[in-house]
Chains A and B, each alone.
Chain A
Amino acid sequence: MAMAALRREGRRFAPLLSPRPIAGVRSSLVSEEDAPFGTRSISTQVVRNRMKSVRNIQKITKAMKMVAASKLRAIQVRAENSRGMWQPFTALLGDTPSVDVKKNVIVTISSDKGLCGGINSTSVKISKALHKLSSGPEKETKYVVLGEKAKAQLVRDSKKDILLTISELQKNPLNYTQVSVLADDILKNVEFDALRIIFNKFHSVVSFLPTMSTILSPEIIEREAEAGGKLGELDSYEIEGGETKAEILQNLAEFQFSCVLFNAVLENATSEQGARMSAMDSSSRNAGEMLDRLTLTYNRTRQASITTELIEIISGASALEG
């Protein structure tokens, strides 16, 4: 009799949802947390469901990591190649982040999509700090926001300081023409003495540092040139063609903005993919650990219910005999 009961016991786990009424075994769908009076078996259904969903999430995050890794490879090459575009400008005009101007415009670059770690938050944090740093009497600081994520964060407390917001930049693969049209739009709509571009520069797959690039307007370049330093040496260059120095400076400033913005957008996109890779990687690892803990709980629950079954059966049998 005990053997028959044990055989029935073995069959219990094969068809999990079968409503076959087995004598002495009432399969209840009551969860193990609330065990009302009269329950006979503890259900592992809840834990099983959780395990299934955690396993699915782990698969999804692993897939996202692979996708981000492949995208990273492609765009990293482009970002590194684009660094050559602004280096001549820095060699010629210098990079002066400490220049003191009246009208600052902060161009914050962020991503449109989420799940990429903390890079957008760091960009916004630096932008806000810069805003505070460069505000003062007679000074004005405004934002131009690229990307949905920074817009969402900046709208919360700096709504009045936003001039432009741009989104859907990455619908087509990034190219210079698109960024230069964007730069053109910004130049036409925005008055500035100095543009500060804030982006995450890609150093390696695990390190993306927020960086600021400064572009000065031609008038400020003139002003700084009088103060000496690198810009003061511009006079030693000979100008060919029929253009004046002011003309050339204006062309150069516009082109410099376009090149630097292109590089910044590419570097930020690379950092986004890298950050997404590491975020999804840690997410898969966490899901794996959660799965391990749930498996232990599942086994404990299962063994406890088997033990309960056995005890009932054996005590029932011994009650019949005795």
Chain B
Amino acid sequence: MASNAAVPFWRAAGMTYITYSNICANLVRNCLKEPYKAEALTREKVHFSIATWNDGKPEKPVLRSDTPED
């Protein structure tokens, strides 16, 4: 069942479905009026620190404290 259909633009740009749906959700949240908009945008805060490990040694952890628009 090889797919001959063209992949959607976001998949071709390297995004996963998760990133795509997050961006869509962010757009929807931005459509709200105040004060609900500020409330909804607090639900979008991202903060975690991730470190990749190579052969049992951790590299420097990367702090991801961004909103998913990036």
Q: A residues within 8 Å of B by Cβ?
A: 159-160, 162-169, 171-172, 175-178, 180-185, 187-189, 222, 242-247, 250-251, 254-255, 258
- Expressed in whole angstroms, the Cα–Cα distance for A16 and B1 within the complex equals 89
Is A244 touching B45 in the complex (CB atoms < 8 A)?
Answer: no
Is A243 touching B5 in the complex (CB atoms < 8 A)?
Answer: yes
Is A169 touching B48 in the complex (CB atoms < 8 A)?
Answer: yes
Set of chain A residues within 8 Å of B48, measured between Cβ atoms = 166-169, 171, 178, 181-182
Set of chain A residues within 8 Å of B35, measured between Cβ atoms = none
Known: A159-B56, A254-B16. A175 touches B43 (CB 8 A): yes
- Expressed in whole angstroms, the Cα–Cα distance for A183 and B48 within the complex equals 12
Set of chain A residues within 8 Å of B3, measured between Cβ atoms = 244, 246-247
- Write the nearest CB–CB distance from A81 to chain B, whole angstroms: 13
Give the nearest-CB partner of A183 in chain B.
B18
Could you give, for residues 35-70 of chain B, a 1 whenever the CB lies within 8 Å of some chain A CB and a 0 otherwise? 000000001111111111101101001011001100
- Expressed in whole angstroms, the Cα–Cα distance for A176 and B8 within the complex equals 24
Is B47 touching A255 in the complex (CB atoms < 8 A)?
Answer: no
Known: A181-B22, A245-B1. A250 touches B17 (CB 8 A): yes
- How many residues of chain B have a CB within 8 Å of chain A? 34
Is B68 touching A180 in the complex (CB atoms < 8 A)?
Answer: yes
- Write the nearest CB–CB distance from A28 to chain B, whole angstroms: 56
- Expressed in whole angstroms, the Cα–Cα distance for A254 and B3 within the complex equals 18
Known: A166-B49, A189-B52. A181 touches B64 (CB 8 A): yes
- Expressed in whole angstroms, the Cα–Cα distance for A56 and B19 within the complex equals 49
B25 within 8 A of A: yes
Set of chain B residues within 8 Å of A181, measured between Cβ atoms = 18, 22, 46, 48, 64, 68
Known: A160-B56, A243-B5, A247-B3. A184 touches B19 (CB 8 A): yes
Find A177's partner among B2, B11, B25, B52 (CB 8 Å cutoff). B25
Known: A189-B52, A245-B1, A247-B7. A168 touches B22 (CB 8 A): no
Is A185 touching B45 in the complex (CB atoms < 8 A)?
Answer: no
13 contacts across the A-B interface (CB closer than 8 A): A163-B53, A164-B53, A168-B63, A169-B47, A172-B45, A175-B44, A176-B43, A180-B68, A181-B18, A181-B22, A181-B46, A244-B1, A244-B4
- Expressed in whole angstroms, the Cα–Cα distance for A185 and B4 within the complex equals 28
- Expressed in whole angstroms, the Cα–Cα distance for A162 and B37 within the complex equals 40
Most buried by A among B18, B46, B58, B64: B18
- Expressed in whole angstroms, the Cα–Cα distance for A188 and B43 within the complex equals 24
- Expressed in whole angstroms, the Cα–Cα distance for A185 and B67 within the complex equals 14
Find A180's partner among B11, B18, B47, B63 (CB 8 Å cutoff). B18
Is A178 touching B46 in the complex (CB atoms < 8 A)?
Answer: yes
Known: A242-B5, A251-B17. A168 touches B51 (CB 8 A): no
| Contacts beyond the supplied A171-B48, A245-B1, A254-B17: 11 A-B pairs with Cβ under 8 Å | A163-B52, A165-B51, A165-B53, A166-B49, A167-B48, A180-B18, A185-B50, A188-B16, A222-B1, A243-B5, A246-B2
Is B18 touching A164 in the complex (CB atoms < 8 A)?
Answer: no
